[in-house]
Structure 1
Amino acid sequence: MSEQMIVLGGGVIGLTTAVVLAESGRQVSVWSRDPVGETTSAVAGALWWPYRIEPAGLVGEWALASLRVYEEMAADPGRTGVRLVEGLQSGIRLSELGPWAAEVDGLRQSAQGVHARIPLIDMPVHLAWLRERLEAAGGTVERRALDASPHSPLRSTRGGPWSDAPVVVNCTGLGARTLVPDAGMRPVRGQLVVVENPGVTEWYTSVDHSSSDTTYFFPQPYGLLLGGTAQDDDWDLTPDPRVAEEIVARCALVRPEIAGARVLAHRVGLRPVRDAGVRIEAEATASGGLLVHNYGHGGAGVTVAWGCAREAAALAASRTPLR
């Protein structure tokens, strides 16, 4: 058998997993339906913080492993897209957070909430850098349509010989709903507005879990990213002008100068939530290969990317020799 591995999905989970595999000496090709810069990951606000992700007992370890990597990347933000930025998680208390919080330097309580200096990532830059890092390690990225037909990669690996690749790693996010198929996968719609930054240097979040409305703003190099929404089971990728106005208004209640900021862009992304939580596991295929799953990261794909990638890569790498 060839040593070739196929990673399905060109978002942050797929690319990070492919980088871990390629840098361990495996021959890796990423198959992505969309260009890397047009995946769901490219739309993400990308603040490191465990949000809308299960299972709680595993998330902390994955998130902390990723945090350590991002802290190193922050030494070169122009290349990696990763910066350490101060901000406020409004309306929460340290005592409400999981055990992982004790391992995050600088978390501190105030009357307003929890303050932190944590990674904030410019996703278009970061995704491009991950691709460059993958290619430097000998990996490749290919545009390939992934569908749910009987000839789709996942179904073919189960039903008979598909390719010379002994290992397929499924990092398709919401696409796993039809590719696997996994009926537990569902979208949580997030709408954002990008405005000219009127001078905001710190991030801010306030989440009401009883509502589909959220309030946050992240200062990115390309502008101030305003959010947001968390609309369950909503597949609509078209920005809603009324919702956009409400997002700007909520953010302006926190920082009034936002109200007059010029709008640069509207964005919509679908968080890939899985009812049973993140799936990282391997199964044998009918053709004698291995299918490794790494999907269902909800609203925290960036937050857990490296921790999950290492776990999935360990499963995949156990079946193939080094080059």
Structure 2
Amino acid sequence: MGGTEKADVTIVGGGVIGLTTAVVLAEGGSRVRVWTRDPVEGTTSAVAGGLWWPYRIEPEALVGEWSLRSLAVYEELAADAERTGVRMVEGVHAELHLDGLGPWAARVRGLRAATPGECAGGGLWARLPLIDMPVHLAWLRERLLAAGGTVEERTVRSLDEAFDETPRVVNCAGLGARDLVPGDPIRPVRGQLVLVENPGIRTWFTAADAASATTTYFMPQPGRLVLGGTADDGDWSLKPDPAVAKDIVERCARVRPEIAAARVVGHLVGLRPARASVRLEREARADGRVLVHNYGHGGAGVTVAWGCAGQAARLVTEATA
């Protein structure tokens, strides 16, 4: 979209949901502009651990298909891991069992019960996409630009600002939807991470405690090992808590003792945009204008990004066909 050519779709939000939706629309022939409050690498998505898995996200009846569509895309992108940030990596979900998952699990190739050597307490072994989010977000932005889209850093205080310039708007604002959709029940679920030098760990591990706000996981990303985590419902603090960081390292070290001596190289905090269920729907406005909502994915945005993007794009284009 060069020169004076105007956009016909505005995407509000530059995280993984907004950028993926923008790419699908732009490659489908729409003239797309993304408005993002923060630089792409500074969004909540950039803080995510990056493992594909349908985690704490509803509605279950739709999430499976969204997730599987995204899985298929990531499997293809993993062929060019250095550029896309997507790698297929083995690991274990502790204490999970196949009969406790939805029908989607039967379509994940290789997903099976972990052996005692892989996870003493039982769990699931899988080879899944593990995504280096800063790299992936930058790649999505470049793919959008190559398709003729644009990205502009802009704070949006009302969706009407977008409608003043384009007849079609997609609300991918994540937690920012709280200000753009008055009364919406979206809320933060705070996640804290610790980055350490990787002592040689090549597999990922997760263990969620359903009775508390803590999760234990480590993800081997290029140049670092990401340790987590927390799921603090309603907590808006973006400041890392040293006591929480210490506890995260200790929990991870109980699984892999070599983590205890790993040098800490950074701390991250992100606020997951959580709702009782994802809001993905079209809202007709006056004069033929179209608003599509695509937000509230919690900590599973990267897991469902391509599936949700495809559905959002259909809602936009079908409304104007």
For normalisation by structure 1, the TM-score amounts to 0.94
- Residue 121 of structure 1 corresponds to which residue in structure 2? 131
- Residue 38 of structure 1 corresponds to which residue in structure 2? 42
**Identity, % of aligned positions:** 66
Write the distance in 2 (CA, Å) between the matches of 1:203 and 1:125. 19
- Residue 173 of structure 2 corresponds to which residue in structure 1? 172
Q: Give the superposition deviation at 1:182.
A: 4.1
Q: In the alignment, is residue 97 of structure 1 matched against residue 98 of structure 2?
A: no
Q: Call closer, same or farther: CA 1:220–1:236 in 2, change over 3 Å.
A: same
- Residue 201 of structure 2 corresponds to which residue in structure 1? 200
**Kept after mapping to 1: 8 A contact 2:171/2:295:** yes
Q: In the alignment, is residue 163 of structure 1 matched against residue 152 of structure 2?
A: no
Q: Deviations over 1:167-196 (max 9, x none)?
A: 000000011111112431001100000000
Q: Give the superposition deviation at 1:3.
A: 5.7
- Residue 228 of structure 1 corresponds to which residue in structure 2? 229
Q: Call closer, same or farther: CA 1:192–1:210 in 2, change over 3 Å.
A: same
Residue 105 of structure 2 aligns to a residue whose secondary structure is: helix
Q: Give the superposition deviation at 1:156.
A: 5.4
Residue 228 of structure 1 aligns to a residue whose secondary structure is: strand
Write the distance in 1 (CA, Å) between the matches of 2:222 and 2:303. 20
Write the distance in 2 (CA, Å) between the matches of 1:36 and 1:237. 18
Q: Deviations over 1:6-27 (max 9, x none)?
A: 0000000000000000000100
**Across the two proteins, how many residue pairs are aligned to each other?**
310
Unpaired runs of at least 5, structure 1 = none
Letter of the 1:20 counterpart: V
Write the distance in 2 (CA, Å) between the matches of 1:226 and 1:102. 29
- Residue 51 of structure 2 corresponds to which residue in structure 1? 47
Q: Deviations over 1:91-133 (max 9, x none)?
A: 1111111110000001110352000000000000000000000
Letter of the 2:302 counterpart: V
Write the distance in 1 (CA, Å) between the matches of 2:301 and 2:183. 18
Write the distance in 1 (CA, Å) between the matches of 2:69 and 2:126. 17
Write the distance in 1 (CA, Å) between the matches of 2:60 and 2:284. 27
- Residue 189 of structure 1 corresponds to which residue in structure 2? 190
**Kept after mapping to 2: 8 A contact 1:166/1:320:** no
Q: In the alignment, is residue 314 of structure 1 matched against residue 318 of structure 2?
A: no
Q: Deviations over 1:235-258 (max 9, x none)?
A: 000000000000000000000000
Letter of the 2:215 counterpart: T
Q: In the alignment, is residue 305 of structure 1 matched against residue 305 of structure 2?
A: yes
Q: Deviations over 1:201-223 (max 9, x none)?
A: 00000001111111000000030
